[in-house]
Amino acid sequence: MAKKQFFAILDTETTMENTVADFAIIIVDRKGIIHNQCAVMVKDHYQKFELFHDKAANDIWGYEGLERRKNNYVEMLNSGKRMLASVKGINNWINQAIGKYDPELTAYNLAFDLDKCQNTSIDLTGFKSKFCLWQAAVGNICNTKHYKQFVLENHGFNNVTKFGNMSAKTNAEMVAGFISGEFKEEPHTALEDARDFELPIMMEVLKKNKWREKVTSYNWRAFQVKDLYTAK
């Protein structure tokens, strides 16, 4: 009998010091059933450092969005939806989860989350295998004509660069919206992003034949908006 396969979907929200403030992993099987989860605010990082924000931004990452996010976390902690956990406690949970499920680690932009976890001393080295869910989505979902048409119809474009280039979005919001047919804004809280956006994306990827062979890095040149008009 084949061993049951599990995946660990990781998501983080970070600080201005490039450490993790909000940490989540959900353990799921190939049917998308959640078997375990860890969703915590990281002690000594959430309280000590400012949440990541961009002074120049006028969206959720700007000052106005920062205040909303801070208030949201306070409400979560007060209501019991989140708790504070030490890095040691998080690492103990990770080791227990690896021992019980032996899951394959993934995240939407895995390199980013690995880097921030390393900066926080959150130890992910025990995972025997891992893949980037963003790269899996790019190679199995975003490179299709149907996805590019969806982006075109919903004006899902990145900001114009200083060189005048504009590309189609391949972020979790856009890809999850394509899958569900209903565009929703990510709350940018770790558990909710992992569960409500990244999990549906992974389930869609797993449906694809030989999906691992199609995992590919994002290249904006393959998603230039000017080319979408000829992609039909």
pLDDT tens, residue by residue, 89-120 = 999 999 999 999 999 999 999 999 999 999 99
The answer to whether the predicted template modeling score (pTM) of the entire model surpasses 0.85 is yes
Joined tokens for residue 225: 């908006």
Joined tokens for residue 98: 């690896």
Confirm whether 217 is domain-assigned. yes
CA distance 173 to 161: 21
Joined tokens for residue 45: 């990082």
Confirm whether 34 is domain-assigned. yes
Confirm whether 32 is domain-assigned. yes
Confirm whether 31 is domain-assigned. yes
Q: What is the CATH number of the domain that holds 183?
A: 3.30.420.10
Residue 3 has pLDDT above 90, yes or no: no
Confirm whether 145 is domain-assigned. yes
Domain count, the chain: 1
Confirm whether 115 is domain-assigned. yes
Q: What is the mean pLDDT of residues 175-183?
A: 94
Confirm whether 205 is domain-assigned. yes
Q: Residue 74 is part of which domain span?
A: 6-228
Joined tokens for residue 114: 């690995």
Contact (CB, 8 A) for 103 and 182: no
pLDDT score, position 116:
98
pLDDT score, position 230:
57
CA distance 101 to 4: 9
Contact (CB, 8 A) for 73 and 52: no
Confirm whether 1 is domain-assigned. no
Contact (CB, 8 A) for 27 and 37: yes
